[in-house]
Amino acid sequence: MHRTLLVLTLILALIVGPTLAPAARAGEPPSGREGEPLRAQQPYCPRAVLIFGGIIIRADRCYALLVLRDTRGLFLAFADANAKIPPGQLVRLRTPAGAKLKGRIFYLVPIRTSAVLIPMDSIAPVSGRVQRAGTQLTIVITNLGPGASVVFQVRS
């Protein structure tokens, strides 16, 4: 019973949390500069090439950052910047909207975290912040709980 309550609370936090965050205003510049918050549904435009293992993320375009969870694990998804999810919602992968959204993803980067606040087979927008230290750039994902982040090597 406690586990069910915990899961329901976490799902509610994932769904309601982004609606409480301030929405990006029309004409507002994309986020992603070091130290700035990443707001859900706001494009992220890396200023340099990001490398994670064998994954090389181009710097000449903007991306929608999403969290995807399926049977393979939990991923930070870099999708087409125009890929939108209604505020405060998530998209199930096995729906037509999920298939369409999944087809607009360019890169999937694994996320290591002990807290998984997104249901299996779904995609949700990311909120968090970008931190840069030397040749490393960290994307901290705040809507997944504590400790959810991805560390990239930066190539200028």
Task: Report the pLDDT value the prediction gives residue 107, as an integer from 0 to 100.
Answer: 96
Stretch among 21-25, 67-71, 81-85 having the lowest mean pLDDT: 21-25
SS3 content of the chain, % helix, strand, coil (to 5): 20, 40, 45
Task: Report the pLDDT value the prediction gives residue 36, as an integer from 0 to 100.
Answer: 72
Strands 128-133 and 149-155: unpaired
Element (H, E) at 65: strand 63-70
CA 48 → CA 2, 9, 45, 54, 131, distances in Å? Answer: 45, 38, 9, 16, 13
**Domain span holding position 34:** 2-155
DSSP single-letter state for residue 23:
P
Count of the separate structural domains present in the chain: 1
- Per-residue pLDDT of 103-130, as tens digits, reads 999 999 999 877 777 899 999 998 889 9
Cβ count near 41 (within 10 Å): 20
pLDDT band at 35 (very low <50, low <70, confident <90, very high): low
pLDDT band at 39 (very low <50, low <70, confident <90, very high): confident
**Spatial contact of 132 and 155, defined as CB atoms under 8 Å apart:** no
DSSP single-letter state for residue 28:
P
Element (H, E) at 47: none
Stretch among 3-12, 29-38, 41-50, 55-64 having the lowest mean pLDDT: 3-12
